[in-house]
Structure formats: structure tokens, C-alpha cells
């Protein structure tokens, strides 16, 4: 990507894309004003490294940011309106954290999961329902288990758990070493410890009844780094005629990063602007202000079961019936029935 040598503050144009193939071969693509270039600048998973059950994930902060960061740096050198990538990728010590997948191999670990989430993890329904955070974890560990099986070829008798730690440079509570120095097996041990597994069982369960893969992500929190106006380029910078920036490191109003919707809206804004489409980008979904969405979410959290299916004592059942009876003369029962609340 190069800036037009004849560009001015009022006109900026991409005139060429320089490519390096996987085999090292270099080639170029010349561009005109009618050729549109969409740039995903930066990338929160760039430079990530994977470990294994017996090997830690490599932590190599000395390696320069690659991929989207390197591309953005090259582009940003050409004009200050193209942002300041080093604000986001220049301090991996503060933008890193670690993730891991724990795959249970048999029925030895699942009962401990069920004891915490109060749900059978093999039903195919919601399991944890959200993220379980271990408040007293030195790593500030959290974990979650979505509907299983999570992958098409995942064996029916296995569970895939996502575990992560926000402080990977601190010693663990059970494994007395930083998360970033731990093998997958050791990370699993720490997780089992915080789930209340008896200490004498932890080592065997982590080693023989699970497979854990750690991942180091140096820039996973890059979009949360302190920034100022202008550090992220506008989706379509002033004067840009044939290029736009997309994703979490592009600036668009009325929205917040860390959502899939943000990336979609920057794409819409880019296309509508460059192609002169007379259409507005949809506003952020105000679900929290819509009682219908709140009712629907409540039912979904209960795996689609109505509140009338709850285990209530006789007094609670009587009170619920009286409330519903008083509402008979309103539109509320119709709303509750439509969204499966009753």
C-alpha cells in the first residue's frame, strides 16, 4: 500500500499494493481511483503462540509485531491521519493474556463442572451460561463451557472448556509459577484446584484425563490500551478516495469496540462511503431498553423453560397465580405468552 505521490491534504489515494508470497516471491498490484482497498489494520491475535499438554506457549515479546500490525505501521508512516499503531502494539507486557482449551477425555472431570454450574454439560443445552470468574485466583482465571459438542467432529463423551488468565505473569495459587511458564497440564491443575477437586486427585486428572493446549496472545487486549483521538484512523480518513480501514482499530462514532457488530458497522460505513450509497449504518441494538428482548433472554437463560416450570413452594405458587390473575385484564399476559415466559 503506498500513498499517491501527487496526493494532497484533500486527496489521498492508494496506488499500489506490494505483496510478498509465502515462498518469498514479491509482486505488485497497481491501483486506480475505481479500485477499492479495504484494510484490516492491526490484529489482537497476531503473534499468538500455542503450547501443548507438555510444553508452555512461547512468550517472545522481543519479536516485532507481524501481520496486520506491520502493515499498519507501514501505512501509518505515510500520513498522521492513518493512526498510530504503536499506541496499541508497542507494549505487549500490558496487552497480553493467556488462553487455554481443556478437553476432558472421559467422565472423571465433568462431575466437578456440573457441581459448579448445576447443569449436566452433556445435554446440548447451555452449560455455564456465561463466564465463571475465580475471584481469588492469582491469575484472575475465568472459564466457560458452551453448548456441547462445540465442534462437529468432537466425540460425544468429551467436553471442550475455555480457560483464560488475565495475569499470566503472576504465580498461581496451586501451581507456584506464572501461567506463561506453565504447560497445558499445569494450567489444567490450577483450574481443577479452583474447581474444588481434592488435591490428591489433581495431578492424575490433569495428566491422564484431559488434554490442555495453552495459547499466549501478546496483543489480545490491544484495543483496550490507553489511547487518544486520532490514534485509530477514521474508517474513511479525510481525503481518502479509494481505501478504508475496517475492524477494531478503526474509529467510528456511537459504538464501542470488542463486538462483532463493531467490525460489521465499520465495513458498512466503508462501503457506503466509498461507493456513495445513500444508506445509514444501523444504530447499536438497544436491547437493554426493550422489555421484549429482556423477557426472551430470561427464558433462554432457562433453556427455553417458562417461569411457571420453576420449582416453587406452595406459597410461591399461590403468589404467582394471584399475580397472573390480576394481570388478566391487561396486555401483559399476551406478551408473556408470546415470549414463552408463561
Which residue is listed with cell 467436553? 159
Instruction: Let me know whether 269 and 319 are in one domain.
Output: no
Bridge partners for 18 per DSSP? 28
Give yes or no for residue 185 having a pLDDT over 60: yes
- Spatial strand order in the sheet of 49-50: 49-50, 210-217, 97-104, 159-165, 141-144, 132-133
Residue 9 within any structural domain of the chain: no
At residue 3 the predicted structure's pLDDT band, cuts being 50, 70 and 90, is very low
| pLDDT number for residue 141 | 97
Residue 280 within any structural domain of the chain: no
| pLDDT number for residue 6 | 41
* Whole-number Å distance between alpha carbons of 313 and 98: 45
Residue 1 within any structural domain of the chain: no
Rounded average pLDDT over 25-31:
94
Instruction: Let me know whether 28 and 111 are in one domain.
Output: no
Give yes or no for residue 236 having a pLDDT over 70: yes
Instruction: Let me know whether 201 and 55 are in one domain.
Output: no
Q: Would you tell me how many other CB atoms lie within 10 Å of the CB of residue 63?
A: 11
Q: Return the CATH number at 69.
A: 3.50.50.60
Rounded average pLDDT over 23-36:
93
Instruction: Let me know whether 149 and 197 are in one domain.
Output: yes
Mean pLDDT of the chain: 91
Instruction: Let me know whether 192 and 138 are in one domain.
Output: yes
Cα–Cα separations (whole angstroms), residue 154 to 1, 128, 157: 42, 19, 8
Sequence-distant (≥ 6) Cβ neighbours of residue 201 within 8 angstroms = 192
- How many degrees, rounded to 5, is the angle at CA 213 between CA 176 and CA 121? 100
| pLDDT number for residue 199 | 96
Residue 279 within any structural domain of the chain: no
Instruction: Let me know whether 112 and 212 are in one domain.
Output: yes
Instruction: Let me know whether 131 and 212 are in one domain.
Output: yes
Each residue's pLDDT tens digit, 194-210? 999 999 999 999 999 99
Give yes or no for residue 283 having a pLDDT over 90: no
Instruction: Let me know whether 205 and 249 are in one domain.
Output: no
Instruction: Let me know whether 246 and 151 are in one domain.
Output: no
Check residue 87 and give left, alpha or beta (phi > 0: left; psi -120 to 50: alpha).
alpha
* Whole-number Å distance between alpha carbons of 45 and 158: 27
Cα–Cα separations (whole angstroms), residue 329 to 23, 233, 315: 74, 55, 23
Q: Return the CATH number at 155.
A: 3.30.9.80
Instruction: Let me know whether 265 and 227 are in one domain.
Output: yes
| pLDDT number for residue 212 | 98
| H or E element that contains 50 | strand 49-50
Sequence-distant (≥ 6) Cβ neighbours of residue 68 within 8 angstroms = 40, 41, 42, 43, 46
Residue 3 within any structural domain of the chain: no
Instruction: Let me know whether 81 and 140 are in one domain.
Output: no
Residue 5 within any structural domain of the chain: no
Per-residue cell: 180: 506463561
Residue 236 within any structural domain of the chain: yes
Domain range for 139 is: 97-217
Total structural domains within the chain: 3
Residue 168 within any structural domain of the chain: yes
Instruction: Let me know whether 101 and 185 are in one domain.
Output: yes
Amino acid at each position: 500500500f503506498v500513498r499517491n505521490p501527487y496526493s494532497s491534504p484533500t486527496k489521498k489515494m492508494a496506488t499500489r499494493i506490494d505483496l510478498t508470497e509465502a515462498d518469498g516471491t514479491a509482486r505488485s498490484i497497481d491501483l486506480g481511483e475505481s479500485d477499492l482497498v479495504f484494510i484490516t489494520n492491526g490484529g489482537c491475535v497476531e503473534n499468538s503462540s500455542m503450547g501443548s499438554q507438555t510444553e508452555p506457549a512461547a512468550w517472545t515479546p522481543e519479536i516485532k509485531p507481524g501481520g496486520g500490525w506491520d502493515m499498519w505501521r507501514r501505512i501509518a508512516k505515510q500520513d498522521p491521519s492513518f493512526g498510530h499503531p504503536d499506541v496499541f502494539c508497542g507494549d505487549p507486557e500490558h496487552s497480553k493474556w493467556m488462553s487455554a482449551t481443556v478437553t476432558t477425555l472421559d467422565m472423571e472431570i465433568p462431575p466437578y463442572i456440573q457441581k459448579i454450574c448445576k447443569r449436566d454439560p452433556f445435554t446440548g443445552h447451555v452449560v455455564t451460561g456465561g463466564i465463571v470468574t475465580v475471584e481469588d485466583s492469582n491469575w484472575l482465571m475465568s472459564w466457560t463451557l458452551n453448548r456441547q459438542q462445540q465442534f462437529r467432529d468432537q466425540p460425544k463423551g468429551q467436553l471442550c472448556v475455555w480457560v483464560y488468565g488475565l495475569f499470566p505473569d503472576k504465580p498461581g495459587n496451586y501451581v507456584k509459577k506464572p501461567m506463561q511458564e506453565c504447560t497445558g497440564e499445569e494450567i489444567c491443575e490450577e483450574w481443577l484446584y479452583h474447581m474444588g477437586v481434592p488435591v490428591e486427585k489433581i495431578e492424575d486428572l490433569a495428566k491422564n484425563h484431559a488434554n490442555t493446549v495453552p495459547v499466549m496472545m501478546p496483543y489480545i487486549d490491544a484495543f483496550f490500551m490507553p489511547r487518544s483521538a486520532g490514534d485509530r484512523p477514521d474508517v474513511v480518513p479525510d481525503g481518502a478516495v479509494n481505501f478504508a480501514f475496517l475492524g477494531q482499530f478503526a474509529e467510528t462514532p456511537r459504538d464501542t469496540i470488542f463486538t462483532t457488530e463493531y467490525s460489521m458497522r465499520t465495513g458498512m460505513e466503508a462501503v457506503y462511503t466509498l461507493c456513495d450509497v445513500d444508506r445509514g449504518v444501523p444504530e447499536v441494538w438497544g436491547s437493554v431498553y426493550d422489555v421484549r428482548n429482556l423477557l426472551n433472554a430470561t427464558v433462554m437463560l432457562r433453556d427455553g423453560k417458562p417461569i411457571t416450570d420453576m420449582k416453587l413452594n406452595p406459597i410461591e405458587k399461590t403468589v404467582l397465580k394471584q399475580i397472573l390473575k390480576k394481570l388478566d385484564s391487561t396486555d401483559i399476559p399476551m406478551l408473556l405468552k408470546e415470549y414463552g415466559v408463561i
